[in-house]
Amino acid sequence: MSHYRRALAGSTYFFTVVTHRRRPILCDEPMRIALRLAIGKVRDRLPFDIDAMVLMPDHLHCIWTLPDGDTNYSLRWSQIKHHVSYTCRRLYPATVSASCQRHRTAAIWQRRFWEHQIRDERDWERHVDYIHYNPVKHGFVQAAFAWPYSTFNRFVRNGMYAVHWGGNPACDGMEFE
């Protein structure tokens, strides 16, 4: 188990955000670009740090640290989802339910998200490990470093993980870029 050194300043949260009806669209290039741009726009107005993140085909997990005294993650997620939905509305058409029509939402995201406030350093470490192991858990790759849509390799570069952490022992001979 790695031991991370970081200050828990501000409020830190773990999130799970899921696509509407679990459509496997989040790893598509247009969606990744739209999500990256949306996060950038929202961070410009409402700052937050992304401590760790993984993008899966139908959901994402991330940990954010908000500035001291700021707990308005809902507004941030609302704006991110809105930007992505607006940008990608024609690329991912879907039958819109009566509920989506009533709430004026696109059929890209589930309306809600799951959040958990990080309690301490140990809780943060467990959630970071969960995030980075998620592609292996779901069977997309045999080792965490092989999944291109996560912050795992940033953690390796910063010395927080060994390259083969969270991998299948059969992958021990594989090289890391």
The CB density around residue 31, as the number of other CB atoms within 10 Å, is: 21
* pTM listed for this prediction: 0.84
* CA dist., res. 136 & res. 127, Å (int): 15
Q: How many helices, marked H, and strands, marked E, lie in the chain?
A: 5, 4
**Which candidate in 86, 133, 149, 161 is catalytic?**
149
Question: Would you call 149 a catalytic residue per the annotation?
Answer: yes
Lowest-pLDDT choice from 12-21, 87-96, 146-155: 87-96
Mean pLDDT of 128-142: 96
For the chain, list the domains and their CATH numbers. Answer: 12-171 (3.30.70.1290)
The tokens of 47 are what?
């700052």
pLDDT band at residue 1 under the 50/70/90 scheme: very low
List Cβ neighbours of 27 (8 Å cut-off, separation of 6 or more).
Answer: 55, 56, 57, 149
User: 13-33, pLDDT tens digit by residue?
Assistant: 999 999 999 999 999 999 999
Lowest-pLDDT choice from 57-66, 96-105, 124-133, 153-162: 96-105
147 pLDDT more than 50: yes
